[in-house]
Chain A
Amino acid sequence: MYEFSYHKPSSVADAAQAIGAADDPKILAGGQTLLPTMKQRLASPSDVISLRGCRDLVGISSDGSTVTIGAMTTHAAVASSADVQKAIPALAALAGNIGDAQVRNRGTIGGSLANNDPAADYPAATLALGATIVTTKRELSADAFFTGMFETALEEDEIITAIRFPVPHAAAYAKFDNPASRYALVGVFYAKTSDGPRIAITGAGQGGVFRSTEIEDQIAAGKTPDSSSINESDLNADIHASAAYRKHLIGVMAKRAVAAAG
């Protein structure tokens, strides 16, 4: 790790200011991705601005039709929230299955979305549920937010403050773990929304999380979903899974997610 200046503002407004004043700033949330990256010397920010002092970014509220989760809310808090468990049980279950207990106690939903790891779980839920990402500058639809592998529509000095999830009729997440890292090798989040079925796939795509309207159409038509429409050349291949295997798993996981949602 290289040397850097550390800031711990106590509000989002102060954080935004600190970011503006710094040379090459990096926001620190749970640190579960950023700190390992810095230790491996792959990131060398001049200033690290921790959001841990910003109490205004933590918390979960639910009004029956929308669940709002503050960006600094940990995976453990989402997993154990009675509100989330009641309104969107699939989201609570997803959060409860991220990494290990230590990771869940530190890692945050805002950090996970800002990072947009192509194998992360939350992006699938956010996209399938059609959530809104609230930032210090604007509100973004999930469809507009995820722009590619490790890429989002966020600007340099933009902070995610909260995520608003519309409550679906039903939803389920089927995850096939990478045996080693236990990130998603393939994860499929299915949501039955008032606009029809939405399917988001993580772990598989070269461009990060993506929707499959073909699979959504199959479900809308009451058919068993399959992955024949997925283009293998858009999928990742690594030592754990070829593109063909990932394509196959998308079909299996989609089927399982739809079955689990009931």
Chain B
Amino acid sequence: MSATGIGASVKRKEDFRFLTGRGNYTDDINQPNQTYAYILRSPHAHAKIKGIDTTAAKSAPGVVAVFTGEDMQVGSIPCGWGVNNKDGSPMNEPFHPALAQGKVRHVGDQVAVIIAETYSQAKDAAELIEVDYEELPAVTNSEKAIAPGAPLVHDDAAPNNMCYDWELGDEAEVDAEFKNAAHVVSIDLTNNRLVPNAMEPRAAIGDYNTGTGEYTLYTTSQNPHVIRLLMGAFVLQLPEHKLRVVAPDVGGGFGSKIYHYAEEAIVTWAAGKVRRPIKWTAERSESFLSDAHGRDHISHADLALDADGKFLGLKVYTKANMGAYLSTFSTCVPTYLYATLLAGVYTTPKIYVNVKAIFTNTVPVDAYRGAGRPEATYLLERLVTKAAKQLGMDQVAIRQKNFIPADAFPYQTPVALQYDSGDYEATLKKAMELSKWTEFPKRKAEAASRGKLRGIGISTYVEACGIAPSAVVGSLGARAGLFESANVRVHPTGSVSIYTGSHSHGQGHETTFAQLVSETLGIPLENINIEHGDTNRIAFGMGTYGSRSLAVGGEAIMKALGKVVDKASKIAAHLMEASPEDVEFKDGKFTVAGTDKEVDFGTVALTAYVPHNYPHETLEPGLEENAFYDPMNFTYPGGCHICEVEIDPDTGTTQVVGMTAVDDVGRVINPMIVEGQIHGGLAQGIGQALLEACEYDDNGQLTSGSYMDYCMPRADNLPDFKAATETTLCAHNSLGVKGCGEVGAIGSPPAVINAVLDALHDVGVQDISMPATPQKIWQAIQAAAVLAAAE
């Protein structure tokens, strides 16, 4: 292993600029003659717009223009994934306007845009706009939304508020398994709604060049090419060569910056109208009301087991809240990223899943760190632990009994996926060692002596990432391919620029990708630049989400590097007067086997651009290669998370006192970065389990709309993490990599809740919902005490 190659914990190249305030974020960018936009948003969850009077606003100081939905007649903001109903009919896909058309459907829905010389002037003018609303009853809960008589979010365009009623598997076949079962264990649970809270709020600048007729959009996006496609082709009808999308430094995404948002279309479209650049930057309160939220599932599941605790069948019924409109990936999250993971790490032979996707008067819901897989993992791992309790089995033993064994890969699950590799026993064993699992009773007794309830919880999980084989997702309804592109440009002096379609918004690609290049070409990291985030500079890209950057984007880079090495070897062969087959390339040097001939990479690069002595008959000058990589399968990270908590029964407060994560993320390129990714994921997982509650009241007002009420995890909420990896290689990509961006958030929530319930077991509490706040725990303890007294 070289000091800068694969496996080295190289410090992040990008951190100097970020830590010294030299990052270049969308809001840092200013254009000459720039104007500012303020978006007037709906204060109501559901209302008819009977009229909008913008007269006073238009003549307010500094105002350049005011537009409403009536002015902005453009295409529907598209959904990227079509899902069919049980009966094969397509889902309901109501029109998704950039600016409200006659109706608002959630608090925060865009009603008008005010463009002025300054942001304050735009905001002042917004107060002069008179919107005549006729308030309508609202519905925010998915179960209530499909009850008869519920308010209809999209009227006839989505009867019963149903987007789709989808299924996977054969219900009758699974029912048959239940008939033979010795035990059936059932669970009802909610996966709480979350606000993603990237540190950088969303921002967008639209610019129109009156000379060339070209539009430019600077935006806080995880995938600028996808935005170009969605906004250009579907909303504004702008062809690719007339639309440039730039996503510069982006301060965190967690999924929330994948999607094409109305504000991007609004500033781009309006820039063409006012013929001046327009900047919009969200205020934090706007982020709460307009960034796509995450999760929000209500589920019931039944698990059939034989007398020995072997799983026979699983039935899962889920209601997924879509919010008011279909965000870009919203429809695939509770189906192809969720139901397909319900086998988990177990050999359950028969599985049936029914998912109803439902419209409500809430902010749209889409992928958030983990997307579908945390929902599946939470459901399964709560259910399995409950089964162990119900059957009087050990919670580790029941898992081991049902694990897919390490020698069973490739393993075909009953829910469509084929896992290529994994070793769940190995990650379990290591996590139990690191967490000192067997000594837990001692720690519990010691905590009891201090008046604390101590509990331990476990979760063993698998997820599917490295998204995704285009042919597979295409057959499942994806409306785009999910490959990645890379360009490797070797400069005459031997330094290298990589142009990747992946996008880094915190993940450290500028370091990890450079390590791939350093390893392959034997050149130092400082000679390598990673360029991303600009549709005019990067040939193509599908962007970063679903832990795909290394497994798909990195593989594309490896492919292009392979082509570079091929061509460079031919040039080297020419220089050394050898035949290309005899040339070897190692540590940055080309040699000829059995001779002392040697030429370094820099000399070859220079020769390619100063081709005086060059095989012109067979080779073109220059050293630059493109590659596209489309994966053959998803990748399947998995592992074991163990959480230990102490609960103060007097107040209901939970302190996480131990969190162990042993994850199999495939080959590790930079262990420090991987550990950082896992730490971040664990923080968000613990946040979901204990702290983060996105709540609406009955009128559809967001009651947790600021940090005064929405609880983000802070350092003192978290223990020192014990994070380790245990590797099986991905079997279908050259690097053997799987993905590490989401595992922390996928595996941990059920481990935390299982620990909380373990701690509360002795005081009679059987169930708790996320987030397990002090109040909920205290109330559960009270209720259990009342019940115990009654018995």
Q: How far is the CB of A62 from chain B (nearest CB, A)?
A: 31
Whether a CB of chain B sits under 8 angstroms from the CB of A105 is no
Taken together as a complex, chains A and B put the C-alpha atoms of A135 and B645 apart, in Å, by: 49
With A176-B651, A180-B707, A181-B708 as contacts: A239 and B124 at CB distance below 8 Å? no
Whether, in the assembled complex, A223 has its beta carbon less than 8 Å from a beta carbon of chain B, the answer is no
Which residues in A have their C-beta under 8 angstroms from that of B695? Answer: 239
- Residue A72 at the chain B interface, CB threshold 8 Å: no
How many Å from the CB of A229 to the closest CB on chain B? Answer: 19
Knowing A239-B693, A240-B775 touch, does A180 contact B651 (C-beta < 8 A)?
A: no
Report which of A2, A176, A183, A239 forms a contact with B704, defined as CB distance below 8 A: A239
A3, closest chain B residue (CB): B120
A179 with B707, Cβ < 8 A, contacts A248-B778, A252-B650 known: no
Interface: B24 (CB within 8 A) = no
Q: What's the least CB distance linking A63 to chain B, in Å?
A: 37
In the assembled complex, B709 has its CB within 8 A of some CB on chain A? yes
From residue 688 to 725 of chain B, which have CB atoms closer than 8 A to chain A?
A: 691, 693, 695, 703-704, 707-712
Question: Which chain A residue shows the least CB distance to B703?
Answer: A239
Contact between chains at A1 and B775 (CB < 8 Å): no
Q: Whole-angstrom distance between the alpha carbons of A1 and B123 in the complex?
A: 9
Q: How far is A179 from B779 in the complex, measured between Cα atoms in Å?
A: 16
B477, CB-defined interface residue at 8 Å:
no
Chain B minimum-CB-distance residue to A246: B775
Known: A239-B703, A240-B773. A252 touches B651 (CB 8 A): yes
**A138 CB to nearest chain B CB (Å):** 34
Count chain B residues whose beta carbon lies closer than 8 angstroms to a beta carbon of A.
21
Nearest CB in chain A to that of B771: its residue: A179
State in angstroms the CA–CA spacing of A178 and B703 once bound together.
15
Chain A residue, CB-CB nearest to B120: A1
**What does the 1/0 interface line of B740-759 toward A look like (CB < 8 Å)?**
00000000000000000000
Question: Would you call B775 and A180 a contact (CB within 8 A)?
Answer: no
- B708 A245 Cβ-Cβ under 8 A: no
| Chain A 161-202 per-residue mask, 1 if CB under 8 angstroms from chain B, else 0 | 000000000000000101111010000000000000000000
A186's nearest neighbour on chain B, judged by CB, is: B651
- Shortest CB–CB separation between residue B500 and chain A, in angstroms? 37
Alpha-carbon distance between A179 and B652 when the two chains are bound, in angstroms = 12
In the assembled complex, the Cα of A21 lies from the Cα of B723 at a distance in Å of 63
Q: Is B774 an interface residue (CB 8 A)?
A: yes
**Beyond A2-B124, A181-B709, A239-B709, is A245–B773 a contact (Cβ under 8 Å)?**
no
Mark B597-641 against chain A: 1 for CB-CB distance below 8 A, else 0. Answer: 000000000000000000000000000000000000000000000
Specify which chain B residues have a CB less than 8 angstroms from the CB of A241 in the assembled complex. 775
Known contacts A2-B124, A239-B693; is-contact A179 B774 (Cβ 8 Å): yes
Closest Cβ of chain B to A68, distance in Å, is 32
Q: Which residues of A contact B774 (CB under 8 A)?
A: 176, 179
Please, which residues of chain B bring their CB within 8 A of the CB of A2?
Answer: 124
Find out whether the CB atom of B703 lies under 8 angstroms from the CB atom of A180.
no
* Complex-state Cα separation, A242 to B775, whole angstroms: 8
- The 0/1 profile, CB within 8 Å of A marked 1, for residues 771-791 of chain B is 001110011000000000000
Partner of A180, one of B124, B285, B650, B711: B711
Give bound CA distance, A116 to B120, whole Å.
30
Q: Is A95 an interface residue (CB 8 A)?
A: no
A residues 221-262 near B (Cβ < 8 Å) are 238-242, 245, 248-249, 252
The minimal Cβ–Cβ distance linking A247 to chain B, given in whole angstroms, is: 11
**Residue contact B778 to A180, C-beta cutoff 8 Å:** no
- CB contact under 8 A between A180 and B779, given known A1-B120, A239-B704: no
Residues from chain B with a CB closer than 8 A to the CB of A178 are 708
Q: Flag if B120 contacts A249 (CB, 8 Å).
A: no
Rounded to whole angstroms, the CA-CA distance of A181 and B704 in the bound complex is: 11
A180 and B709 CA atoms in complex are apart in Å by 5
Q: Is the beta-carbon distance between A240 and B650 smaller than 8 angstroms?
A: no
Give the distance to chain A from B412, nearest Cβ to Cβ, in Å: 44
In the assembled complex, the CB of A123 is this many whole angstroms from the nearest CB of chain B, namely: 18
Specify which of A2, A178, A239 lies most central, judged by the most chain B CB atoms within 10 Å of its CB: A239
Q: Chain A's nearest CB lies how many Å from the CB of B608?
A: 54
- Residues of chain A within 8 A (CB-CB) of B710 are 180
Q: Does B711 contact A179, Cβ atoms closer than 8 Å?
A: yes
Measured between beta carbons, the chain A residues less than 8 angstroms from B711 are 179-180
Residue-wise, chain B 87-131 has the 8 Å CB interface mask toward A (1 for contact) of: 000000000000000000000000000000000100010000000
Check A179 against B650 for contact (C-beta < 8 Å): no
Q: Which residues of A contact B650 (CB under 8 A)?
A: 252
Alpha-carbon distance between A181 and B710 when the two chains are bound, in angstroms: 8
Query: Which residue from chain A places its CB closest to the CB of B714 in the assembled complex?
Result: A182
Instruction: Report whether B778 and A179 are in contact in the complex, using a CB–CB cutoff of 8 Å.
Output: no
CB B705 to nearest CB in A, in angstroms, measures: 11
- Return chain A residues, CB-CB under 8 Å to B691: 179-180
Cβ–Cβ < 8 Å partners of A180 in chain B: 691, 704, 707-712
- A245, B775: Cβ atoms closer than 8 Å: yes
Are A181 and B707 within 8 A (Cβ)?
Answer: yes
**In the complex, residue of chain B having the shortest beta-carbon distance to the beta carbon of A40:** B285
* Of A2, A178, A179, most B-chain CB atoms within 10 Å: A179
Neighbouring A residues of B773 by C-beta, 8 Å: 179, 240
Q: Would you give the 0/1 interface string for A129-166, flagging 1 where the beta carbon is closer than 8 Å to chain B?
A: 00000000000000000000000000000000000000
Question: Which residue of A1, A183, A239, A249 is within 8 Å of B651 (Cβ)?
Answer: A249
By a CB distance below 8 angstroms, the chain A residues around B712 are 180
In the complex, A242→B652 CA distance in Å?
Answer: 13
Q: How far is the CA of A249 from the CA of B778 in the complex (A)?
A: 10
Q: Which residues of A contact B778 (CB under 8 A)?
A: 245, 248
Which residue of B has the minimal Cβ distance to A119?
Answer: B708
Asked if B779 and A245 sit within 8 Å, CB to CB, the answer is yes
* A242 CA to B695 CA, complexed, in Å: 15
Q: What is the CA–CA distance of A178 and B693 in the complex, to the nearest angstrom? A: 13
A163 to B650: give the CA distance in the assembly, Å.
35
* Bound-state Cα–Cα, A191 to B204, Å: 54
Residues in A neighbouring B709, C-beta threshold 8 A: 180-181, 238-240
Alpha-carbon separation in the docked complex, A238 to B709 (Å) = 10
**Chain A residue at minimum C-beta to C-beta distance from B124:** A2
B residues within 8 A CB of A1? 120
B651 contact set on A, CB distance < 8 A: 176, 249, 252
Cα distance, A178 to B773, chains bound together (Å): 10
Kindly state the separation between the CA atoms of A2 and B708 in the bound complex, as whole angstroms.
Answer: 23
Q: Which single residue of chain B is at the shortest CB-CB distance from A245?
A: B775
Q: Nearest chain-B residue to A252 (Cβ)?
A: B650
Return B702 CB to nearest CB of chain A, in Å. 11
Shortest beta-carbon distance from A204 to chain B in Å: 13
> Within the assembled complex, what's the spacing in Å between the Cα atoms of A195 and B775?
36
- Shortest CB-to-CB span from B76 to chain A, Å, is 33
* Closest chain B residue to A253, Cβ basis: B651
For the complex, what is the distance from the CA of A248 to the CA of B779, rounded to whole Å?
11
Give A252 to B652 CA distance when docked, in angstroms.
11
A60 CA to B708 CA, complexed, in Å: 31
Q: How far is the CA of A176 from the CA of B289 in the complex (A)?
A: 29
List of A residues within 8 angstroms of B779 by Cβ: 242, 245
Chain B min CB distance to A46 (Å): 16
Across the interface, which residues of B come within 8 angstroms of A181, CB to CB? 707-709
Least CB distance, A84 to chain B, in whole angstroms: 24
Minimum Cβ distance to chain B for residue A115 (Å) = 15
Beta-carbon nearest neighbor of A179 in chain B: B711
What separation, in Å, do the CA atoms of A161 and B528 have in the docked complex?
A: 61
A-B contact pairs, 13 of them (CB 8 A): A2-B124, A176-B651, A179-B774, A180-B710, A180-B712, A181-B708, A183-B708, A239-B695, A239-B703, A239-B709, A240-B773, A252-B650, A252-B651
A interface vs B, CB < 8 Å?
1-2, 40, 176, 178-181, 183, 238-242, 245, 248-249, 252
Q: A180-B708, A181-B708 provided; 14 other pairs, C-beta below 8 A?
A: A178-B708, A179-B711, A179-B773, A180-B691, A180-B709, A180-B711, A181-B707, A239-B695, A239-B709, A242-B775, A245-B775, A245-B779, A248-B778, A252-B650
B interface residues with partner A (beta carbon < 8 Å)? 120, 124, 285, 650-651, 691, 693, 695, 703-704, 707-712, 773-775, 778-779
**7 shortest interchain CB distances as A-B pairs:** A180-B711, A181-B708, A179-B711, A252-B650, A245-B775, A180-B709, A241-B775
